[in-house]
Structure 1
Amino acid sequence: MINSVLMLLIASALSSSALAKSCPEVLDSTQRKLNAVEQVNLCDEFQGKVLLVVNTASQCGFTGQFEQLEQLHKKYQDQGFAVVGFPSNDFNQDRGSEEKTAKVCYLDFGVTFPMMARSSIKGAKANPVFTEIARQSGVVPRWNFYKYVIDREGNVVGTFASSTSPVSQDITSVIENNL
């Protein structure tokens, strides 16, 4: 009897551990970093963190938002938060090489938050992160610098248009409520 109870407890603990470690759909992919060969397993890197996922473009009128995105990243990174950028040319404003995009991000704006390789963020060839964001939120980016807050469990808990400043009270309150 004691052995049966012990086995049941062990099985329960193992299944709870397995459930706790399962990757949220939004993070269930490996992405290449911008202008690099290095790959990032999003689950390993970001599981359990609050994220601000942003589709970016290096030649857009909103490109200056990189400065505010960097401010957010630095302000909250020690609390389990990260900004993650996904450059895209879906709106024809990230033309040229990834090297040029990386220069704008890293040199011109001093971005230190993770930037993934250029990918599509809408349509049939959309990056799986944005496919899942659209499935959860019903909101597909209509322009560059759409912002999505993802909670620690991998749920989209906020969507914000390009014109919303990354450091606006609307965004920061959603971030802070999920930290």
Structure 2
Amino acid sequence: MHRRHFLGSATVATLLGSRAAAADQPSFTFPSIDGGRLRTADWRGKPVLVVNTASLCGFSGQLRDMQQLHDTEGKKGLVVLAVPSNDFNQELDDAKKVKEYCTVEYGITLPMTDILHVAKGDVHPFYRWVKDQTGFAPNWNFNKVLLAPDGRIIGTWRSFAKPGGAGIRQAFSPYLSG
């Protein structure tokens, strides 16, 4: 009897601790490539895949994969966010050019930030937080960070991992609706 009570209390304490930790996850604001702001707080309750992108990178074909995820899994709750960056010298020099290129070449309609620093210089607070929490920092273009619906980091991947690949899908699928 005492053992069951202890285990039940431990389970409740763990669940309450997890909820408290989730509530403590920070929110971040990104400047949108379209003007205005993109706020992670607006996406609470949904998994969010954040990818640092570069139009002139050999991995830029992943933009097509990102858009496909946005089109198919966005209806089930997945948010795919592109974060253009020139930290590795492979992005166009103007946000309007980036937007036009991504729209014409890949049909991008998913949310995109303005051109930001993700690894060098004045690194965006989101990427500083990811590094502080996990030790992960983009070492090239098309690195991925997956946030759980409560804002926790639940996965990070390097450039070779495709946005729609099995490992990433397996990580976000439990959080999709329908």
TM range (shorter): 0.7 to 0.9
Aligned partners of 2:46 and 2:79 also within 8 Å = yes
| CA RMSD between the two structures | 2.0
1:18-37 mapped onto 2 (5 Å cutoff): 24-25=25-26, 28-34=27-33, 36-37=34-35
Separation in 2 of the partners of 1:150 and 1:108? 27
Aligned residue-pair number: 157
Distance 1:51 1:60 in 2: 23
Please give the per-residue CA displacement for 1:90-145, whole angstroms capped at 9, x wherever unaligned. 00000321111111212211111100111100245111111112222211000000
How high is the TM-score relative to the length of structure 1? Answer: 0.80
Instruction: Say yes or no: does 1:78 pair with 2:78.
Output: no
Q: Where does 1:107-118 land on structure 2 (aligned, <5 Å)?
A: 107-118=104-115
Q: How does 1:108-147 map to 2 (within 5 A)?
A: 108-123=105-120, 125-147=122-144
Contact 1:84 1:115 in 2 (8 A): yes
Q: Describe the SS at the equivalent of 1:54.
A: strand
Matched AA of 1:125: D
Contact kept in structure 2, 1:57 and 1:93, CA below 8 Å: yes
Large movers: runs of 4+ above 4 Å:
none
**Structure 1 pair 157–29 and aligned structure 2 pair: CA distance change class (3 A):** closer
Tell me, which stretches of 5 or more residues in structure 1 are unaligned? 1-18
Deviation at residue 22 of structure 1 after TM alignment? 5.3
Paired position in structure 2 for 1:13: none
TM-score (norm 2): 0.81
Preserved contact between residue 136 and residue 155 of structure 1 (Cα < 8 Å): no
- Structure 2: 5+ residue runs without aligned partners? 1-19
Matched residue, 1:51? 48
